Chain A
């Protein structure tokens, strides 16, 4: 491969071939999500970057639901709700199975007119933050409860007698069709709520951020993040619950049982039989709702496994924790130290200010701290809890079809788009209604095999980091803050791999310097390979990888800014992190010795 340091543009998606075996991939996704041939010029005029932070893996057709709902709603709150003066939403496309984004600017001459609307609308939310947020929680939990009540069950041989005696005149098909639509609609609803507060949280954060940059030019972004950040986000509660369970096990003298057993079923049986076991079992059950609605994925994939649905996962973490607690390790995050350090940082910067500037500093910091917890907490309510219930119901429906012979594997429905599922339901209830065979079982197995082959072929290639010509400078603060995409970063991508450079540059996301052995993890299913003391290297991490953060000594990711989940978790756990390196997970191999400088954002491959 030749070096092309002078390269000014990335390839066009129109010129980029699909990997062998993936021909025809576009037909797997909705027409509006792929680069359409007749829009070549228009699409090529835009700069697109790959969001492998949220969507590191190839989408199965059903899974586009996440990016569609999330990014649509993100945009709507900027564009239609709060009329954020300089920023509309983000366009998104799928190319070769991966997700690409392009922020939509507001024409400079239109910005002024948007200001009064923003003042009125965002002003209302900032002024009534706490009461609106309380209401938000009710709405979100209501949605979850409604979704949880949905069930897709085998159709009866004949309708209930109640239908006859009650003169209802309707069979379960209508409910099944309505329930499916309702499930999709409820997920959509919580994705709307997801962004009701999030964008404003970032706006307030950016306001404080801008003030700090003016007061203290070149203040590290990390300093600002640490001043705002809380230390007791609800996002860390599931992990804390497991630690509590581990400590309780030590207190009750159950350490031997954890050492001697594997898996949830076996361990729970042994504990139930042990003296003092009842108390632990009660605590285990009490922790599950809602805290086991938690995934080591990120909520955007049908394959994400939620603790509630696979108790071996949390039990495995508890087993690790019990072993460490028995050794005398302190399991809890160093919250007192984090708070002391946060207060020191705030105190020292405040000392450099006086008068109105000092008042402004405290005012903006106060607002940022009021709104910021949402930026962390929402993740549990939506990505984990809502999506956990959502995917459980999707799987339930998929398994129902499997039982009727529509497809071979339990989760094969993920190879259909969500809009292809509606006619499948109608096919099923029609066959059931007329007393004949549905058509699906003769159609879908082969079609799903074909699609499975295409998805597998797409997954053989890593995504291009971006398409087309980047803007000269990237100064859109949301893009920088959330995705870690800076002018420098884009230039580094353009320069390509430099064989002489034994290191990677990224965001200084969480301070500290460590050396250690790398472990490259490209998906949550590989997490059990992580050994104590290793450095985690991944395309991206989910905040729910919490329990492994007790094992590792640092984190390096390809994608992610100061406010990416990897950065937040590392700061909460006091581990060094470098995020947004672009290519760490491909350039670094498991077993390499690394030096990770989370204060400078530099990763060095030592040998």
Chain B
């Protein structure tokens, strides 16, 4: 029965097929000592139980039977129907009990009922464009057992968007064995959040960490709706080598009623740095350890939790391999390869040449 949930700090080895990409990553980071907000996975076993122990699977098959993938309107209509079936499906008792138990344990650990984030955690093959799949199935500031259970079903339902159905048909991926895990995680009370990349995308320099940072929740940074502060940090010394403080006009903040509101940032905070120097270094350190742990260039989502004391308030939300910049083979141009006197001379001329050229 405990197969239905998996706490991120479990001492068992996380299995990708059961936890999906996001939860596996969170569990690995937790066991590596990364400061991930506490939470648990609702495993694919839970999804499978819902499908197999109820009439849902048959029901879905009937709705989709004979669907013409070229008829966009019809695909949309039937997809919506399937999602409605999943959203309203009574969950088997054992699955519900396990989920409620895991949720209660989490709340106890947080010292009372706190909001959580509920996110889908797909196993990559099932959905198109897997790295973006999670975005639309993120529910923030979810409060209370009933609401949490509902959002879990919403995540399951996201397997049957029109786009996903068409994608599977086109790639001959059977719905047989189709599954989905869900992450339930303590909601970070983000004073500031953003992303960090363990490479400088300007030039492919791997000795740098680039941090984008803005007030409130990170969604506006990720979606590009706010121009974030930008920090360039040396990965070895952890010194800030460049900083651009932007006009951060909007932020996303919790309303306290389980929803999130966009609001204007007050004048004095707009152009103030959204991270202190100590926090910049803490974020960089976080990104550096994620890279070291995974052994590849990482793209890290992080947040500063307003509820936590300095020194413990930098939290890792997600880390995934960076796949765009690190694939571009960028070799630094060296004017002075080799180490003899000829190389020294070339390098002297290169360094002073600019002055010689400019002075005439």
Binding site for B on A (CB under 8 A): 84-87, 105-106, 108, 111, 115, 118-119, 122-123, 126-127, 203-204, 206-207, 210-211, 214-220, 222-223, 344-345, 348-349, 352, 356-357, 360, 363-364, 366-367, 471-473, 475-477, 508, 511, 513, 597, 599-600
Chain B interface size band reads: 35 or more
Closest to B335 in A: A214
Task: Tell me, in angstroms, the Cα distance from A84 to B345 when the chains sit together.
Answer: 9
Instruction: Tell me how far the C-beta of A600 lies from the nearest C-beta in chain B, rounded to whole angstroms.
Output: 7
B269 interfacial contact with A, CB 8 Å: no
Chain B 225-279 interface residues, beta-carbon cutoff 8 Å to A: 232, 234-237, 239-242, 277
In the complex with contacts A345-B236, A356-B337, A600-B240, A216-B352 CB distance below 8 A: no
B52 interfacial contact with A, CB 8 Å: no
B339 interfacial contact with A, CB 8 Å: yes
Task: Tell me, in angstroms, the Cα distance from A203 to B336 when the chains sit together.
Answer: 13
B333 interfacial contact with A, CB 8 Å: yes
Would A364 and B345 count as touching, CB distance under 8 A? no
B355 interfacial contact with A, CB 8 Å: yes
Closest to B344 in A: A207
Instruction: Tell me how far the C-beta of B91 lies from the nearest C-beta in chain A, rounded to whole angstroms.
Output: 49
Instruction: Tell me how far the C-beta of B201 lies from the nearest C-beta in chain A, rounded to whole angstroms.
Output: 12
The 9 residue pairs across chains A and B that have the minimum distance between CB atoms:
A363-B339, A86-B352, A123-B341, A216-B207, A108-B356, A210-B347, A352-B206, A207-B344, A348-B236
Would A360 and B277 count as touching, CB distance under 8 A? no
A356: chain B residues within 8 A (beta carbon): 337
A349: chain B residues within 8 A (beta carbon): 207, 236
Would B339 and A210 count as touching, CB distance under 8 A? no
Total A-B contacts with CB atoms under 8 angstroms apart: 147
Instruction: Tell me how far the C-beta of B235 lies from the nearest C-beta in chain A, rounded to whole angstroms.
Output: 7
Would A476 and B355 count as touching, CB distance under 8 A? yes
Would A217 and B277 count as touching, CB distance under 8 A? no
Q: Is chain A's interface secondary structure helix, strand, loop, or mixed overall?
A: helix
Contact partner, A357, options B332, B335, B357, Cβ 8 Å: B332
Would A105 and B355 count as touching, CB distance under 8 A? yes
B236: chain A residues within 8 A (beta carbon): 223, 344-345, 348-349
Instruction: Tell me how far the C-beta of B259 lies from the nearest C-beta in chain A, rounded to whole angstroms.
Output: 40
A508: chain B residues within 8 A (beta carbon): 239
Would A207 and B343 count as touching, CB distance under 8 A? yes
Most buried by A among B208, B344, B349: B344
Contact partner, A211, options B232, B235, B334, B360, Cβ 8 Å: B334
A87: chain B residues within 8 A (beta carbon): 352
A-B contact pairs, 15 of them (CB 8 A): A85-B348, A85-B352, A86-B352, A105-B356, A108-B359, A115-B345, A218-B241, A352-B205, A357-B334, A363-B339, A364-B336, A367-B344, A471-B355, A471-B358, A475-B358
Task: Tell me, in angstroms, the Cα distance from A211 to B350 when the chains sit together.
Answer: 10
Contact partner, B356, options A111, A207, A222, Cβ 8 Å: A111
Instruction: Tell me how far the C-beta of A482 lies from the nearest C-beta in chain B, rounded to whole angstroms.
Output: 14
Contact partner, B359, options A219, A352, A471, Cβ 8 Å: A471
Would B237 and A511 count as touching, CB distance under 8 A? yes
Contact partner, B339, options A123, A219, A364, Cβ 8 Å: A364
Task: Tell me, in angstroms, the Cα distance from A599 to B236 when the chains sit together.
Answer: 13
Most buried by A among B200, B207, B360: B207
Contact partner, B334, options A105, A106, A360, Cβ 8 Å: A360
Task: Tell me, in angstroms, the Cα distance from A473 to B277 when the chains sit together.
Answer: 29
Closest to B354 in A: A475
Contact partner, A119, options B208, B241, B345, B359, Cβ 8 Å: B345
Task: Tell me, in angstroms, the Cα distance from A5 to B237 when the chains sit together.
Answer: 35
Would B207 and A219 count as touching, CB distance under 8 A? yes
Instruction: Tell me how far the C-beta of B295 lies from the nearest C-beta in chain A, rounded to whole angstroms.
Output: 11
